[in-house]
Structure 1
Amino acid sequence: MKNNRIEITKSSGRKVRFSLQKLRRSLRSSGANKLLVNQILDKVRDQLYQGISTKEIYNLAFDLLKKERSYYASKFKLKKALYELGPTGFPFERYVSAILSHSGYFTEVGKILQGNCVRHEIDVLAYQNNETTVIECKFHTSQGLNCDVKVPLYIHSRYNDVKANWNADPNKITQIKEGWVVTNTRFTEDALQYGSCVGLYLLSWDYPKGNALKDRIDQLHLYPITVSTLLSSKEKQNLLDKEIVLCRELLDKPFLLQEIGVSELRAKKIIHEISELCTHKTTK
């Protein structure tokens, strides 16, 4: 059976045509060379059948990458790793704040601001060049759930309420100029159209093209701690509870691994894995 006739089942239950090129791009983004990518594609092709789930394809490719080199698998699982920043949305908010901090902003997380009408808890405030950006984060714990138009609609009304009160205050040394909505999933077409119409900046896993969340992460090498293939789920959660969301933060505080019960031998392997990940250049 030809690959272009294979239909796969997405996490949402929707059936789509299998794309060999899309899988190739994902594998190449892990840093694997062309020879390894072609070897993995050959093995995946041999396992394809009508209706195979994207999860099964992902697991097969992930295991093959991990056998070669763990940090290949870590980069390959980036999208999944963002879902693992839960179960609450707070680690994702801290993660978004970290990305902006490394992009030249001064940031604050979880601030209570007075609007014209009511008070609002703002996920992230970002300051740069005497301007303040109000950022709301929409976190999903499972794939297949996209942000529809109700999300930017709701956030736009909160943004306007806060902006009106903030900009009218003569004691503020900055002006609120922009509102963002950031999600670890995708926006629907209606959500994107509304955001563009009212001037909200929307940032998702794959939008805007070339400067999406995945692009920013790779450019800055700011990988979440959940990408590690060597840490257990419990160990990742323990680190998140200690407000460690970046691999880079763990490199600065490796002693935390011993604090959560990781043996010295495993700790060395984990630090080596994330060190390679944070320094390895993305292959285009």
Structure 2
Amino acid sequence: MKDKSFKIIKSSGEKADFSLSKLRRSLFSSGADELTVDNILNVVRDELYQGISTKEIYNRAFALLKKSKSIYASKYKLKKAIYELGPTGFPFEKFVGALMTYSGYSVKIGEVLQGKCVSHEVDIVAIKNGEHIVAECKFHSAKTNTCNVKVPLYINSRYQDIIAEKKNTKECPNEGWVVTNTRFTLDAITFGSCVGLYLLSWDYPKDNGLKDRIDRLGLYPVTVSTLITNREKQFLLSRDVVLCRQLLNDSFYLDHLGISETRKTKILSEISMLCNTH
């Protein structure tokens, strides 16, 4: 195929130039080796056409990765897997709570804290080595949704009300967090930085966003699995099994689903490799 510029359609509806290097980076992030990545790039490039959507490119790359090795496909679909924690935000809260638990925090979900003016239901309270965090999780089921400045403005007012009530006590939090599965606008980041809120999104802070933390800790949501059906995933989420690592410890849930021993072995083998456990 001759080198030429292709316009692709992003999920937002915007047009952009196709970036081969960006696709290459995303494929390498799945753990695929160089030969596999090069083979997939060659196939995808040959199938490009003007106006192709990013979703079509992703689906094709995902299918080729899955054909090569299911664990590559599972890692590649991480961002989509986070969206699959919906449609409500509660599994996302549980997932973020689990990330913090495995990072050494003592975590409580859905705590009601009294503020100076009113009481507040807080998504996550996490404590470790002098850190006392109250975190709010903002889950979006659509990729086009972002967290604008209104979100940290609102959460900061709740955080300050709690501090006003708890100051000079050991129950007083010293960190306020806002966590989202999408992205923050520039104004949201600027405001958060100005007032001292910690903002955590898919790719923010740089090199320490949700994706980086998940990959670093091997804490993948059960929704990344390419071997578990959507119905089975919803069953697991309803039982508060949000991490692949949890399923390794509680594999009896697969028995409840009537999964055969052969398929169960394949599922546990896949998620064991994802979690880097042996």
Instruction: Kindly indicate whether residue 181 of structure 2 is the aligned counterpart of residue 210 of structure 1.
Output: no
Q: Match of 1:37, as an amino acid?
A: V
The answer to whether 1:277 aligns with 2:274 is yes
2:243 is matched with: 246
What root-mean-square deviation, in Å, do the aligned CA atoms of Structure 1 and Structure 2 show? Answer: 1.3
Deviates more, 1:199-208 or 1:263-272: 263-272
Q: Distance in 2 between matches of 1:244 and 1:13?
A: 35
Q: Deviations over 1:137-186 (max 9, x none)?
A: 00011212111111111111111111211224x4xx34311100000111
Letter in 2 for 1:131: E
Given that residues 137 and 183 in structure 1 are in contact (C-alpha distance below 8 angstroms), is that contact kept between their aligned partners in structure 2? yes
2:226 matches 1:229: yes
- Residue 111 of structure 1 aligns with which residue? 111
Superposed displacement of residue 197, structure 1: 1.1
Counting matched residue pairs gives 277
Structure 1, unpaired ranges of 5+: none
Shift of 1:4: 5.8
Q: Is the 8 A contact 1:97 1:109 kept in 2?
A: yes
Alignment of 1:35-74 (within 5 A): 35-74=35-74
1:75 has 2:75 as partner: yes
Q: Distance in 2 between matches of 1:276 and 1:3?
A: 37
Give the share of equivalent positions with the same residue, in percent: 62
Match of residue 161 from structure 1: 161
Give the aligned partner of residue 147 of structure 1. 147
- In 2, the alpha carbon distance for the partners of 1:7 and 1:166 equals 54
| Structure 2 residue ranges without an equivalent (≥5) | none
**TM-score, length-scaled by structure 2:** 0.96
Q: Distance in 1 between matches of 2:148 and 2:242?
A: 27
Contact 1:97/1:107 (8 A) holds in 2: yes
Secondary structure of the 1:176 match is: coil
Q: For 1:179, what is the secondary structure of its paired residue?
A: strand
**C-alpha distance after superposition, 1:212-242 (max 9, x if no partner):** 1100000000000000001111100000000
* Residues in 1 aligned to 2:224 and 2:142: alpha-carbon distance in whole angstroms: 16
Larger RCO: 1 or 2 (CA < 8 Å, sep 6+) = 1
Distance 1:242 1:197 in 2: 39
Q: Which amino acid aligns with 1:193?
A: T
For the 8 Å contact 1:5–1:17, the answer to whether it is kept is yes
Contact 1:3 1:45 (C-alpha < 8 Å) held by counterparts = no
Q: Distance in 2 between matches of 1:199 and 1:4?
A: 46
Tell me how far apart the structure 2 counterparts of residues 175 and 257 of structure 1 sit (CA, whole Å): 42
Amino acid at match of 2:220: Y
Bigger mean CA offset, 271-280 vs 229-238:
271-280
Shift, 1:2, TM fit: 5.8
Deviation at 1:83, TM superposition (A): 0.3
Equivalents in 2 of 1:73, 1:21: separation in Å?
19
AA aligned to 2:245 is: R
CA contact (8 A) 1:205 1:213 kept: yes
Task: Provide the TM-score with structure 1 as the length reference.
Answer: 0.94
